Amino acid sequence: MDFGFTKEQTMLIASLQDMGKRENFKELAAEIDRTREIPPSLTKQYAKMGLLGMTLSSEYGGNDEESMTAILAIEELAKFSPMIAATVFESNVGAVRVIDMFGTEEQKKAILPGVCSGDFSVSVCMTEPEAGSDLTSLSTHIEDKGDHYLLNGNKCFITGGGEASHYLVYTRIGDIKGYKGIGGILVEKGMPGFTFGKQEEFMGLRGMPSCDLFFDNVKVPRENLIIKQGEFSKLMLTFDIERCGNSAMCLGVAGGALEEAKQYAMERKAFNRPICEFQDVQFTVADMAMKLDAARLLVYRAVEGAGKGLPSIYEASMGKCFANEMVKEVTDKAMQIFGGYGYSTDFPMERMLRDARAWSVAGGTLQMLRITLASMIFGRRFDQRKPE
Ligand SMILES: Cc1cc2nc3c(=O)[nH]c(=O)nc-3n(C[C@H](O)[C@H](O)[C@H](O)COP(=O)(O)OP(=O)(O)OC[C@H]3O[C@@H](n4cnc5c(N)ncnc54)[C@H](O)[C@@H]3O)c2cc1C
């Protein structure tokens, strides 16, 4: 299948590979995992290279790129570590796309240039302690107070929590139950009544800020409402672009693990021969490459279909589900090829395996993706909710 990458896209991939080698991103990946800190200089460097917000509108500092360009960049950087790709992900396929696609002129002017320069970032805030997969049960709500809204509620597992400058909060507007009552409002860090919980300590993705958010009578200006009540589908459709970014992270991590395993299999000797001469190791590596390529085809299909707009829900869900499972399998197999060294923190395999595990929960679980796919295949909705 020819995805017809442009000359610029091919050059971008090559330049990111060069940068990774030149600046020793392999070592940086291990350091971020150890220290749990992404150097702020990396974000500034990406901004100078035009990698931040390249999919956003050019009137506001972006470059009107198709999502594919960003996906290729995310994949390439995630071969070293998802943390090295994180700001490229957030600024191109994250919640900022909702503002770019559906925000007002004023909202775009206020936010997008700052995202492209690396000064701002926007977190997506959906999950609540009692509303994860069951998102439409969320209870965070805003009350119309005339010249402002009053926001109350709390969120959990919010990537960027505490560090991001802006938060796109999925909230109930008024009393309508279910998805029809949900919209999205932009909340800024530092607004009185808006506080953060302690940072999560995750198994992997170390360096990625994540925490609970608390909204206690936060006065939010009316002009911060981005998605009105009744327009929930706009939020979810745009989130499918983020899901393609999640899938690109999986392609990258798996690609990095495959390369490491291949090199190791050519160097490591057992029974006086390189282990790549054992047929089981060959078949394992062949299977890893086959699964990775299959995932890549599904993910690229969704992204290519999206162009500068939205992907098909079916294609984005299928790509994410397959890529999420693939990366767990590929990193696990890579670890096996490394033998005892794979289990050691002196080698990158255990980190890659830990990082791989996150994606099949973040951005919607495998089960919820399969429910979406099944409902499209059968052409009917399967209500998950127990009748009251
Ligand atoms: C690394 C990471 C980053 C994240 N970043 C963000 C973020 O930036 N913003 C944000 O809002 N959220 C974020 N999340 C939260 C994430 O979206 C939720 O964890 C996820 O949607 C699942 O919700 P839950 O944890 O409440 O699990 P639950 O909904 O409680 O599900 C528990 C289990 O039950 C299964 N299950 C539930 N319902 C069904 C069903 N009907 N059929 C079959 N199985 C079912 C689920 O698949 C899961 O396996 C992040 C999570 C992680 C791990």
Choose one of 361, 366, 373, 385 to mutate for the ligand 1 pocket test, by most ligand atoms within 8 angstroms of C-beta.
361
Architecture of the domain delimited by 122-230: Beta Barrel (2.40)
Percent of the chain having pLDDT more than 70?
99
How close is the Cα of 369 to the center of ligand 1, in Å?
11
Q: What b/e readout covers 179-208, taking b as 16+ CB neighbours within 10 angstroms?
A: eebbbbbbbbbebeebeebeebebebbbbb
Predicted pLDDT at 55: 98
Topology of domain 7-116 in CATH is Butyryl-Coa Dehydrogenase, subunit A; domain 1 (1.10.540)
Predicted pLDDT at 2: 65
**CATH: 3.40.50.10470, 2.60.40.420, 1.20.140.10, 3.40.50.800. Which one for 233-378?**
1.20.140.10
Mean pLDDT value across residues 304-311: 96
Q: Which atom of ligand 1 is nearest to the CA of 364?
A: 21
Q: Which atom of ligand 1 is nearest to the CA of 129?
A: 26
Q: What is the largest CA-CA distance in the chain?
A: 79
Predicted pLDDT at 174: 85
Mean pLDDT value across residues 247-255: 98
How close is the Cα of 24 to the center of ligand 1, in Å?
34
Give the pocket of ligand 1 (CB within 6 Å): 123-127, 132-134, 157-159, 205, 358, 361-362, 364-365, 367-368, 384
Domain residue limits, the chain? 7-116, 122-230, 233-378
Q: Does pLDDT of 285 surpass 70?
A: yes
How close is the Cα of 120 to the center of ligand 1, in Å?
26
Choose one of 93, 127, 239, 250 to mutate for the ligand 1 pocket test, by most ligand atoms within 8 angstroms of C-beta.
127
What's the rounded Cα separation, in Å, for the pair 42 and 377? 43
pTM: 0.97
Q: Does pLDDT of 243 surpass 80?
A: yes
Same fold, 122-230 and 233-378: no
Predicted pLDDT at 151: 98
Mean pLDDT value across residues 233-254: 97
Predicted pLDDT at 4: 83
Q: Does pLDDT of 1 surpass 70?
A: no
What's the rounded Cα separation, in Å, for the pair 288 and 337? 11
Q: Summarize pLDDT for 168-182 with one digit per residue, the tens.
A: 999 999 888 899 999
Q: Summarize pLDDT for 261-278 with one digit per residue, the tens.
A: 999 999 999 999 999 999
Mean pLDDT value across residues 245-261: 98
Q: Summarize pLDDT for 168-226 with one digit per residue, the tens.
A: 999 999 888 899 999 999 999 999 999 999 999 999 999 999 999 999 999 999 999 99
How close is the Cα of 73 to the center of ligand 1, in Å?
26
How close is the Cα of 158 to the center of ligand 1, in Å?
12
Q: Does pLDDT of 253 surpass 90?
A: yes
Mean pLDDT value across residues 106-110: 97
Q: Does pLDDT of 108 surpass 70?
A: yes
How close is the Cα of 317 to the center of ligand 1, in Å?
15
Which residue's CA lies nearest to atom 45 of ligand 1? 367
Q: CB of 250 within 8 A of CB of 295?
A: yes
Predicted pLDDT at 388: 82
Q: Which atom of ligand 1 is nearest to the CA of 131?
A: 26
How close is the Cα of 319 to the center of ligand 1, in Å?
18
Q: Which atom of ligand 1 is nearest to the CA of 125?
A: 11
Take residue 65 and report the two structure tokens written for it: 């790129």
Q: What is the mean pLDDT of the chain?
A: 97
Q: How many helices (H) and strands (E) does the chain have?
A: 13, 10
What's the rounded Cα separation, in Å, for the pair 218 and 178? 23
Choose one of 130, 133, 140 to mutate for the ligand 1 pocket test, by most ligand atoms within 8 angstroms of C-beta.
133
How close is the Cα of 367 to the center of ligand 1, in Å?
10
